[in-house]
Amino acid sequence: MYDVLIIGGGVSGLSCALVLGSAHKKAFVQDKKIGIITHQKISSLQEAIFYNAYGVPSGKLGSELLTESTEHLQQLYPHVTQIEGEKVLKVSGEFPNFTVTTNKNSHQTKSIVVAIGYSNTFDIEGLMNFVEPHKKAIAEKQRIQLKNEDHKVAEGIYVVGTLAGWRSQLAIAAGSGAAVATDILTLWNNGISSQSHDSIKK
């Protein structure tokens, strides 16, 4: 049973996983099981090149960022389980006992973070009743989002990135994933505001 399972290995999903992973030394996180389904084939980063993203070298390919970010997660936070080669088909159950069914397996989790892009080909059974037109995208593109309030779709279900209704800028997507990670850390810390910072200070 995962405490949180992130669906999607793009910018917002990996940002969420990195922040959660970095908090592993906090007492209230040490017993938590974190997983991420790192499906990336349809990530918009596959065709991206960056010149205007803070901290990213000019001319960096999005496909390189995807590869490097999963490697970064594995190297620094190996306790975060990366699930490769699976596509989510269905979400069932309710908090704190969800079942995430993929084309190859099923996973039990207390909470879910949905980190898939805003294409109208979105088709995860159990989440379709939350789909609505994207509020910040051009109507002709027929983008979608999941109904949410401050990233929360329903008890135990969060959405991040463009599917949460944000625009498709790398920095926005990364920030959205990090924001939900800090919300989850706060929840795990009995509602006391919590986040995870890296520092050169010891």
Span 11-23, pLDDT tens digits:
999 999 999 999 9
For the cut 90, the answer to whether the pLDDT of residue 45 exceeds it is: no
User: Which residue carries 């593109």 as its tokens?
Assistant: 141
* pLDDT at residue 43, rounded to an integer: 72
* pLDDT at residue 106, rounded to an integer: 98
Give percent of the chain above pLDDT 70.
98
Contact between 103 and 91 under an 8 Å Cβ cutoff? The reply is no
The tokens describing 2, both together, are 């995962």
Q: Please tell me the distance from the alpha carbon of residue 147 to that of residue 180, in angstroms, as a whole number.
A: 15
Banded model confidence at residue 47, pLDDT cuts 50, 70, 90: confident
If 0-12 CB within 10 Å is exposed, 13-18 middle and 19+ buried, where does residue 162 land? buried
Banded model confidence at residue 40, pLDDT cuts 50, 70, 90: low
Banded model confidence at residue 46, pLDDT cuts 50, 70, 90: confident
pTM score: 0.95
- CA-CA distances (angstroms) from residue 78 to 39, 73, 100, 161? 18, 7, 22, 24
Bridge partners for 92 per DSSP: 99
For the cut 80, the answer to whether the pLDDT of residue 42 exceeds it is: no
For the cut 90, the answer to whether the pLDDT of residue 39 exceeds it is: no
Mean pLDDT, the chain, integer: 94
Span 71-82, pLDDT tens digits:
999 999 999 999
Q: What is the average per-residue pLDDT within 26-52?
A: 89
* pLDDT at residue 202, rounded to an integer: 60
Span 82-104, pLDDT tens digits:
999 999 999 999 999 999 999 99
